[in-house]
């Protein structure tokens, strides 16, 4: 091999090596794109729901209340017969069996939706109005194109006759897509068309709030102590090693801790945002302390010395001068810690947040779900409608995380001073 050949070979190796590096960055970026694209393409349809435009006639004979009935009377009244009578008129069905199939195209909440219309206007008896009633999950998925209609009938959840009705609805423009208010307002449900993340949102909010209230002050005080006051001795070293180790302990271990201490020993109520918040606070604490200490460390000693020189006490120099300067870094570290806590699932599963909770929690001691746990719960469900709901929940979760991270970066870039 001549010199030139060898040089060429070496340059080829150089190019190959660069190519490997570039490819791996590209592959990593590609994964991000695929993941996000996959979730968004599956989830975006969940923000709309399919509704069937139906004429509803409020027949006095089928209702035991009068025009102008009070709110309580309406709430107690039975609208079941009104619902059945009106829904079976949506399509000319021949017999009982066909009527049953027709009724199954509407959601389980059709009665409540009709009742709500009457609640808004209690003079409807004897009148006919047009209502957009929520369609059942099967029709919803079919209308959104998520459900293959060319399967043989026995493998389909929708019968041939129901397809005929659906086509009739489409032809007569009786079926359309509305904004899915249920997805944001409702709690969990066994029916995908009625299931929402309202409860999970509130549960996550309470958990994160409790986590913030507990973790932030303790983390700031602890890092101030370790950075500014702690004597260099074995106890301090031990605390430091401890914090570093805690930050790397798998999150599920915190779940076991909460199960044993918070639930079994102190007997706090299971499945509640209170327990979730405490667990997440214990978990986030070391993850907040580390950036807090870094931002305290970044404040130059001249600031402290200047304060001490004009007669401030050690405390005054720290709390009046060092801490305010370190605050942007501290806050951004806290927000990033909270963002991690928001996406944490495993410890919450262990403290029983997987319970099926329909009601939206009204306080932190009510049983509740949280956004990531809702993702886990729905992803285990067999119904096709839950796939888009899960993806949409993930979209909401990712949006929150992105916003939190942007706020953190903004705080740091806008307010943090650079010392050189």
Partner 1 sequence: MNFVLLFLITIFSLSLFFYGRSKTKSISIEKNIRLNALPKFYGYYLVLWCSIPALVFLLVWSLFEPVIIKSIIIETAANQGAIFSDKNEANLIYEKIKAIHLGTYFGDIDSILKESALAYAKFINLFTNSKVVLIFGIIIASVIYSLKKIKNNNKARDDVEVILKGLLFVSSLIAILTTLGIIFSLLFESIKFFSVINVFDYLFGTNWSPQRAFVRDASSITAAEFEELKDAFGFIPLIAGTSFIAFIAMLVAVPIGLFSGIYMAEYASIKVRRISKPIIEILAGIPTVVYGFFAALTVGPFFRQVGENLGLTVSSESALAAGLIMGIMIIPYVSSLSDDVINSVPQSLRDGSYAVGATKSETIKQVVIPAALPGIIGSVLLAVSRAIGETMIVVMAAGLAANLTINPLESTTTITTQIVMILVGDQEFDSPKTQSAFALGLTLFIATLILNYIAQRAVKKYREKYD
Q: How far is the CB of 126 from partner 1 (least distance, A)?
A: 42
The burial class, CB within 10 Å (0-12 / 13-18 / 19+), for 104 is middle
Non-local (6+) Cβ contacts of 307 within 8 A are: 316, 317, 320, 321
Strand order in the sheet with 128-134: 128-134, 48-57, 175-179
With contact defined as beta carbons under 8 Å apart, do 144 and 136 qualify?
no
The least distance separating partner 1 from the CB of residue 238, rounded to whole angstroms, comes to 7
SS3 content of the chain, % helix, strand, coil (to 5): 65, 5, 25
CB of 222 to partner 1, least distance (A): 4
Which is nearer to partner 1, 126 or 250 (by Cβ)?
250
Residue with tokens 């949409």: 392
The nearest distance, CB 265 to partner 1, in angstroms, is: 7
Contact 77, 65 (CB under 8 A): yes
In whole angstroms, the minimum distance from the beta carbon of 24 to partner 1 comes to: 4
Nearer to partner 1, 82 or 350 (CB): 350
Please state, as a whole number, how many other Cβ atoms lie within 10 Å of the Cβ of residue 227.
19
- Is 260 or 302 the residue whose CB approaches partner 1 more closely? 260
Residue nearer to partner 1 on the CB measure, 91 or 254: 254
Closer to partner 1 by CB, 90 or 336: give it: 336
* Minimum CB–partner distance for residue 302 and partner 1 (Å): 23
Q: Which is nearer to partner 1, 125 or 290 (CB)?
A: 290
Helix axes 96-103, 160-171, angle to 10 degrees: 60
């Amino acid at each position: 091999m001549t010199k030139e050949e060898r040089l060429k070979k070496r340059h080829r190796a150089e190019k190959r090596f660069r190519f490997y590096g570039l490819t791996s960055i590209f592959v990593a970026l590609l994964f991000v794109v695929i993941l996000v694209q996959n979730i968004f393409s599956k989830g975006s349809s969940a923000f709309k729901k399919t509704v069937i435009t139906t004429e509803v006639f409020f027949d006095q004979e089928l209702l035991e209340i009068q025009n102008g009935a009070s709110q309580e009377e309406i709430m107690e009244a039975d609208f079941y017969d009104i619902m059945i009578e009106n829904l079976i008129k949506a399509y000319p069905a021949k017999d009982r069996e066909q009527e049953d199939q027709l009724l199954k195209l509407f959601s389980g909440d059709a009665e409540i939706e009709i009742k709500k219309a009457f609640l808004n206007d209690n003079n409807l008896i004897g009148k006919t109005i047009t209502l957009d009633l929520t369609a059942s999950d099967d029709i919803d998925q079919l209308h959104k194109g998520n459900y293959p209609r060319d399967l043989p009938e026995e493998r389909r959840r929708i019968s041939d006759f129901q397809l005929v009705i659906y086509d009739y609805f489409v032809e007569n423009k009786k079926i359309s897509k509305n904004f899915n208010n249920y997805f944001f307002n409702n709690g969990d449900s066994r029916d995908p068309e009625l299931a929402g993340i309202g409860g999970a949102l509130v549960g996550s909010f309470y958990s994160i709030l409790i986590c913030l209230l507990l973790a932030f002050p303790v983390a700031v005080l602890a890092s101030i102590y370790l950075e500014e006051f702690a004597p260099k001795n074995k106890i301090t070293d031990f605390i430091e090693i401890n914090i570093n180790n805690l930050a790397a302990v798998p999150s599920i271990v915190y779940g076991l801790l909460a199960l044993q201490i918070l639930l079994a020993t102190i007997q706090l109520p299971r499945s509640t945002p209170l327990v979730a918040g405490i667990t997440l606070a214990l978990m986030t604490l070391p993850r907040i302390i580390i950036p807090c200490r870094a931002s305290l460390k970044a404040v130059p000693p001249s600031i402290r010395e200047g304060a001490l020189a004009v007669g401030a006490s050690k405390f005054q120099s720290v709390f009046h001068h060092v801490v305010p300067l370190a605050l942007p870094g501290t806050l951004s570290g806290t927000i990033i810690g909270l963002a991690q806590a928001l996406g944490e699932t495993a410890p919450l599963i262990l403290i029983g947040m997987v319970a099926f909770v329909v009601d939206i929690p009204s306080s932190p001691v009510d049983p509740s779900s949280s956004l990531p746990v809702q993702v886990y719960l729905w992803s285990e469900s067999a119904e096709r409608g839950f796939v888009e709901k899960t993806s949409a929940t993930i979209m909401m979760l990712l949006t929150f995380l992105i916003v939190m991270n942007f706020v953190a970066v903004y705080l740091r870039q806008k307010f943090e001073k650079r010392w050189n």
